[in-house]
Amino acid sequence: MTGKQMVRQEDLFELKSVTNPVLSPDASEAVFVVTQIDQEENAYHAHLYHLDVESGSSVQWTYGKERVSQPQWSPDGKRVAFLSTRDEKNQLFVMQAAGGEARKVTEVETGVSSFLWAPCGTKIWLTSTLEDGKTFADKEEKDEKKQPEALRVTTMKYKADGAGLVKEDRHSQIGCLHIESGEITAFTEGPFHHSLQAVSHCGKKLVVGVNRAENKDFDFRQPLALVDVETKEETVLVDEEGYFGGAAFSLDDRYIAYGGSDRTFENATHSGLYVYDCENQTTLNLTEALDAPVGDAVVADHQQGPNPPEAVWTEGNYLYFQVTTMGDVRLYFADLEGSLYPASPESEHVYDYGVAKNGQFALAAISNPVNPGELYRLDISTGERQALTSFNEDYVKDKNLVQPETVQLEGAGGFDVHGWLMKPANYEDGSKVPLIVNIHGGPHAMYGNSFFHEMQVLAAQGWGVLYINPRGSHGYSQAFVDAVRGDYGGGDYQDIMDALDDVLEHHEWIDQDKLGVTGGSYGGFMTNWIVGHTDRFKAAITQRSISNWISFFGVSDIGYYFSDWQIKADMTDVDTLWKHSPLKYAENVKTPLLILHSENDLRCPIEQAEQLYITLKSMKKDTEFVRFPESDHNLSRTGKPNLRITRLNELTGWFEKYL
């Protein structure tokens, strides 16, 4: 025994999330955000910290019951702006880097969504969602006796998980704040959503995202335009089906980098990194030869609010960006001549980062399975690294954390299947223990080499944990991520069961008569599918799941197009939708099934759980149903802290009962 403490559900209150590293213009200083859960308040508090890059010393800059986000240095490096919820709605604050109180510089009724400094340092571009016809200065009349109002819906995208019902008369607009006067001048107008992407270093150009299509029900575009600040004349950068964003000007303003993906494989399409040449008006896909997606596709439950740039330009027109590959998220380098290679090591998760303008070093927030995440200075040329923060150091020292071992096998159809296996934290040689199979959501996401509190909790209970990336997962080839579409419950199910058979064959410490399975979202669908197709598992827990693709089509915020993209069927082909619905196979279920679901989940609405529960109960199956109030699809990651603890207790309690 190590004498270390076992990981507990309540460790959520000890862990700290370190994100948003932003270097000052001369790269001698940085700011970053630390998020921690306040158990007494049952809330997340996020505060701004300052870092001296050379000495590695850091100091907390903001306090109180607030959440700080999106910190940015002024162009001269003398001030820092950030968004804060200290007055409930997100407003913009500016503070002097030399010290002193932060000054609130906006009073926008609906709050500020995002912002970028103008190069002059006297203005800040910002976005806010405004009611059509209203200005940034308008105030909402507060009526204590306001009566409920009906909501007229004329579009299909009328609700969104985490946001609720979408008012059709509100749109995101861009304005320009004059810091001294506090006046905000409107820059955009019209009943369209505008996103502020980038400001040129000369201050004369913006990159703006806007889709002006009249009917957007089946329109999945965010065109990007280069806009002249004075004349508002627009030059189209990209306008095609798919999502594109994260634009950034090169230091000489000649090039604009942006990320995104078209719809060749619908939402399974790999994201790429593109560069637009403003002089020649040509576009280059820098990552065309890379069979892996740009960006971060890792699913975990610890990091709060990372906000990594899509790409960072350095002197010489070099680029740095994230790539999701083989369980890792790595920092990559590219130039305009076609060079492309990793700039950070394997076996870790670079979940946020900044790069010095001279390209000599990166400031990166990095996690691995036994490190919740800290900031590191990465020397680009030598590969050397220096830890700059130690917020979770004592936690790591005190806890018995399990380092998973890599699992890899050849799956059906010639695909390699990759994942991880954890022994129990208190494993004693010669003993046999239960195994939990944990399946991720998405399905186009990825388990990775990142800290995952839930996995450590399960291992601390004395169980092994198997978590893999079946076909459909990101981080592998385009063919692999696309292979699940139209085949839910086919090759993906086979991958999971093949991985299970593989670890049972090679690890005698697993008790093959005591197997459990769980998963959320797509992982919940797969848990439902598994118990309807095999009785090998002695206990199962399905979370925020899909059980019936026919009703999902009409009740999910994404159902009417996601079903077509993923199942390759819509309401003109209910036979196919039903064939892939776990509810169809409810009569076969022999495994005790616990159903966990959030009441405000609009992605996989709770009626999916209700149908499954009542159907199983009517068939006299062993099942229970736990409903989480005031919670959406992201309960396990960003939900109310007390309910996150309850959820983990439900997981361990059910497996304890049946395994």
CA atoms within 13 A on the CB side of 494: 14
Instruction: Judge whether 461 and 657 are in contact, CB under 8 Å.
Output: no
**Region of 635 on the Ramachandran plot (φ > 0 left; ψ -120 to 50 alpha; else beta):** alpha
Per cent of the chain over pLDDT 90 is 96
Set 261, 450, 633, 636: catalytic member:
633
pLDDT in tens, 324-369: 999 999 999 999 999 999 999 999 999 999 999 999 999 999 999 9
Mean pLDDT for the chain? Answer: 96
**Residue 205: what residue type?**
K
Q: What is the pLDDT of residues 519-552, one digit of tens each?
A: 999 999 999 999 999 999 999 999 999 999 999 9
Beta-carbon contacts of residue 440 (< 8 Å; ≥ 6 apart): 299, 446, 447, 467, 469, 473, 519, 520, 522, 523
Q: What 3-state DSSP class applies to 201? A: coil
Alpha carbon distance 533, 177 (integer Å): 59
Has residue 1 got a pLDDT over 60?
no
Cis amide linkage into residue 191, ω under 30° from 0: no
Assign 154 a pLDDT band (cuts: 50, 70, 90): very high
Specify the pLDDT at position 2: 61
Q: How many residues does the chain have?
A: 659
Read off the pLDDT of each residue in 88-108 and give the average, rounded to a whole number: 94
**Among this protein's residues, is 507 annotated catalytic?**
no
Nearest of 524, 526, 542 to residue 580 by alpha carbon: 526
- Which pair of structure tokens corresponds to residue 638? 């960003």
Residue of 571, 168, 39 lying closest to 160 (CA atoms): 168
Residues 6+ positions from 94 with CB-CB distance below 8 Å: 74, 79, 80, 81, 102, 103, 105, 179
Taking the C-alpha atoms of residue 33 and residue 68, their distance in angstroms, rounded to an integer, is 7
With a cut of 90, say whether residue 143 has pLDDT above it: no
d(CA 348, CA 163): 32
Tell me which DSSP letter residue 167 carries.
P
Distance of CA 344 to the CA centre of its chain: 21
Tell me the CATH number of domain 396-658, given options 3.30.413.10, 2.30.30.90, 3.40.630.30, 3.40.50.1820. Answer: 3.40.50.1820
The first and second tokens of residue 252, run together, are 């000489």
As given in the structure block, the two tokens for residue 159 are 């609700």
The conformation of residue 77, written as its DSSP 8-state character, comes to S
pLDDT digit string (tens) for 366-399?
A: 999 999 999 999 999 898 999 999 999 999 999 9
Structure-token pair, residue 104: 């609130």
> Where does the pLDDT of residue 499 fall: very low under 50, low under 70, confident under 90, or very high at 90 and above?
very high
**Rounded Cα distance, 183 and 164, in Å:** 31
pLDDT at 441: 97
Q: Where are the domains of the chain?
A: 396-658
The answer to whether 349 is a known catalytic residue is: no
Predicted confidence at residue 13, as pLDDT, reads: 97
pLDDT per position as a tens digit, 554-587: 999 999 999 999 999 999 999 999 999 999 999 9
Average pLDDT over residues 294-307: 96
* Burial status of residue 212 (CB atoms within 10 A of its CB: 0-12, 13-18, 19 or more): exposed
Distances, alpha carbon 147 to alpha carbons 110, 138, 144, 200, 428, in Å: 20, 21, 9, 46, 64
**387 residue type, one letter:** A
Distance CA 121, CA 626 (A): 52
Please list, residue by residue across 96-120, b when 16 or more beta carbons sit within 10 angstroms of its beta carbon and e when fewer do.
ebeeeebeebbebebbbbbbbbbbe
Confidence of residue 49 (pLDDT cuts 50, 70, 90): very high
For position 112, what pLDDT does the model report? 97
Q: In what order do the strands lie in the sheet with 170-178?
A: 114-117, 123-131, 170-178, 184-186
Distance CA 32, CA 20 (A): 5
Structure tokens belonging to residue 547: 């059980």
Which parts of 385-439 are beta strand (E)?
385-387, 405-410, 416-422, 433-439
Check whether 417 has a pLDDT greater than 60. yes
| Three-class secondary structure of residue 108 per DSSP | coil
Reduce the DSSP state of residue 421 to 3 states and report it: strand
Give the active site residue among 200, 521, 545, 551: 521
Burial of 86 (0-12, 13-18, 19+ CB in 10 A): middle
pTM: 0.97
What does the alpha-carbon distance between residue 32 and residue 30 come to, in Å, rounded to a whole number?
A: 7
- Split at pLDDT 50, 70, 90, the class of 140 is confident
The percent of residues in the chain predicted with pLDDT above 70, rounded, is 99
* Nearest alpha carbon to residue 532 among 511, 546, 521: 546
One-letter amino acid identity for 15? L
CA 28/CA 51 separation, integer angstroms: 9
pLDDT of amino acid 325: 98
